[in-house]
Amino acid sequence: MKILLGILLLLSMLVSITMVFLVAPIEETMGVVQKIFYFHVATAWVGFLAFFVVFIGSIGYLAKKSRRWDRIAYSSAGIGVLFTTLCLITGSLWAKPAWGIWWTWDARLTSTLVLWFMYVAYLIVRYETEGSERGAVFSAVLGVIGFVDIPIVFMSVRWWRTVHCDLVIVERTGLTPIMLFTLLLSVFTFTLLYFYLLITKYEIAKTKDEITSLKEKLRE
Amino acid sequence: MKPFNDLYTLIKKDILDELRTGGTLISMLLFSVLVVVIFSFALGTTLSKEKELGGGILWLTFFFASILGLNYSFSVEKENSSIKAVMLTPVDRGILYIGKMFSNLIFIFIIELFTVPVFLVFFDYPILKIIPPLTIVLLLGTAGLSSVGTILSAISTSTKKRDILLPLILFPIITPVLIGSVRCTGIILLGGSLLEEAGNWLAMLAVFDVLFIVVSFLIYEFVLEEL
């Protein structure tokens, strides 16, 4: 299963990279730098997907108290933070040439940053309670509260920004069909990558649990 | 009504505890007044009336002060494992949460009530005109703060990092409360009408409060079992 996914991922990556760099046309106003868009959107998507999986895993763990759900939530949180970090970095790299600034307190940027802080805190709680049952429960609670919070954060940040003057208006430039296709393909590839990483992290967590229980048996 | 009697007893317990051991509330109050004074050193004694700095100063002060109170509210329960005794009583776990949330709300609110006049005097605002509408914002904002703060302080006091962890997990989640309260307070300080200009913010604060009181009510028992 994992090997199959791996092969599919590799193929999809090769096609995506070809599409992004060789096939997709260069954007008129922004030039080559616009290509980062295919990575930026895809990482943002994976970030949200990962946090949604954390939410599902957290609820599953609180309901069933099975380590399996906890492993899913924990593995997904790490990947989510990684991809949100990449999303913030690629966004910043794109903003400088496109808007002339590295960062702006735009609603979407701000909410992503708040989200990033939330799930980094999740990982810290996890780290502080390494491996214990307690840590699993605490992070599950955070996983639920954090996800429920996301819509309110989005809404409040949007209102907060619209009251002030808008520094930068994100131009909705039309995408050509080929660009749209490349974007969708890139999102698809990143989603595959997410699941591949999730399975890998899950297996590592499972092995860790097994080692701990074996060590305990040895001690007895 | 049993739940209300239970709630009353729980809140009374926290207030009595505070009165007998004493000191926390006074320290929190001194801290928040001190922060306001420090802000006036940092920003000058008269705030530009154009900007809504006042709201920001007030709410940052309350956020920092409440961190002190929230951290204390659980570490005192864990001393001598008295939380175990509370859990042994035949009271619904959700009610235990509501009780703790209300005592935190009351403590933080008392601090705010004493800090606000000092702030208004120091920065030369019309006191009588501002306090009544501001009370509504204080209540809504503080309810949001203590709804999430109560359950998260239970978590943070059970980890190794303890005191430093609470702001890290609490502040990102209550960003909407900070933004909403600061906006409302800013409008009041500038002499605007709260209901007309900040109606949507008040609604957002209320939604936040209700949502997180319900969510925490439902999941509090999982946290309690691990303390």
- Which structure tokens are listed for A83? 């991809």
Q: Is the pLDDT score of A175 beyond 50?
A: yes
Does any CB of chain A come closer than 8 Å to the CB of residue B207?
yes
> Min CA distance, B168 vs chain A (Å)?
6
Contact criterion met (CB below 8 Å) for B188 and B130: yes
What is residue B48's predicted lDDT score, i.e. its pLDDT?
A: 60
Contact criterion met (CB below 8 Å) for B198 and B184: yes
The Cα angle at residue B201 between residues B210 and B105, in degrees rounded to 5: 45
Query: How far apart, in Å, are the Cα atoms of B190 and each of A30, B51, B56?
Result: 43, 9, 13
Q: Is the pLDDT score of A169 beyond 60?
A: no
Q: What is the DSSP string of A21-79?
A: IIISPPBTTTBGGGGHHHHHHHHHHHHHHHHHHHHHHHHHHHHH--HHHHHHHHHHHHH
Contact criterion met (CB below 8 Å) for A210 and A63: no
Question: Which residue type, as a one-letter code, is found at position B8?
Answer: Y
Q: How far apart are CA A142 and CA A127, in angstroms?
A: 14
Instruction: List chain B residues with CB under 8 Å of A158.
Output: none
- Report ipTM for this prediction: 0.87
Q: How far apart are CA A80 and CA A176, in angstroms?
A: 30
Residues of A with CB under 8 A from a CB of B: 62, 114-115, 117-118, 121-122, 124-125, 128-129, 133-134, 137-138, 140-142, 144-146, 148-149, 152-153, 155-157, 159-160, 163
Residues of chain B with pLDDT under 50: none
Q: How far apart are CA A155 and CA B183, in angstroms?
A: 14
Q: What is residue A20's DSSP assignment? A: I
Instruction: List chain A residues with CB under 8 Å of B208.
Output: 152
Q: How far apart are CA A75 and CA B194, in angstroms?
A: 45
Q: Please, what is the end-to-end C-alpha distance for chain B in angstroms?
A: 29
Does any CB of chain A come closer than 8 Å to the CB of residue B210?
no
What is residue B111's predicted lDDT score, i.e. its pLDDT?
A: 93
For chain A, give the mean pLDDT. Answer: 87
Does any CB of chain A come closer than 8 Å to the CB of residue B155?
yes
* Residue ranges per structural domain of chain A: 2-6+35-219
Contact criterion met (CB below 8 Å) for A96 and A30: no
Contact criterion met (CB below 8 Å) for A80 and A52: no
A88 burial via Cβ count (<10 Å: 0-12, 13-18, 19+)? buried
Cβ distance of A137 and B226 shorter than 8 Å: yes
Say which residue, A22 or A198, is predicted with more confidence: A198
Q: What percent of chain A has pLDDT over 90?
A: 50
What is residue B85's predicted lDDT score, i.e. its pLDDT?
A: 84
E strand residue ranges, chain A? none
**A27: β partners:** A31
Q: How far apart are CA B108 and CA A42, in angstroms?
A: 43
Q: What is the DSSP string of B115-134?
A: HHHHHHHHTT--HHHHHHHH
A163-175: average pLDDT:
48
A109-127: average pLDDT:
92
What is residue A167's predicted lDDT score, i.e. its pLDDT?
A: 42
What is residue B46's predicted lDDT score, i.e. its pLDDT?
A: 66
Structure confidence by residue, pLDDT tens digits, A81-110 = 999 999 999 988 888 887 888 888 888 888
Q: Is the pLDDT score of A168 beyond 60?
A: no
Cβ distance of B219 and A159 shorter than 8 Å: no
Structure confidence by residue, pLDDT tens digits, A21-35 = 888 877 777 777 788
Q: How far apart are CA A53 and CA A199, in angstroms?
A: 13
Q: Is the pLDDT score of A115 beyond 90?
A: yes
Say which of A122, A137, A149 has its CB closest to residue B223: A137
Number of helical (H) and strand (E) elements in chain B, helices listed first: 10, 0
Which residue of chain B has the CA closest to A141? B219
What is residue A165's predicted lDDT score, i.e. its pLDDT?
A: 40
Q: Please, what is the end-to-end C-alpha distance for chain A in angstroms?
A: 37
Q: Is the pLDDT score of A163 beyond 50?
A: no
Instruction: List chain B residues with CB under 8 Å of A157.
Output: 175-176, 179
Nearest to A192 by CA among A54, A56, A200, A206: A200
What is residue A170's predicted lDDT score, i.e. its pLDDT?
A: 45
Cβ distance of B211 and A114 shorter than 8 Å: no
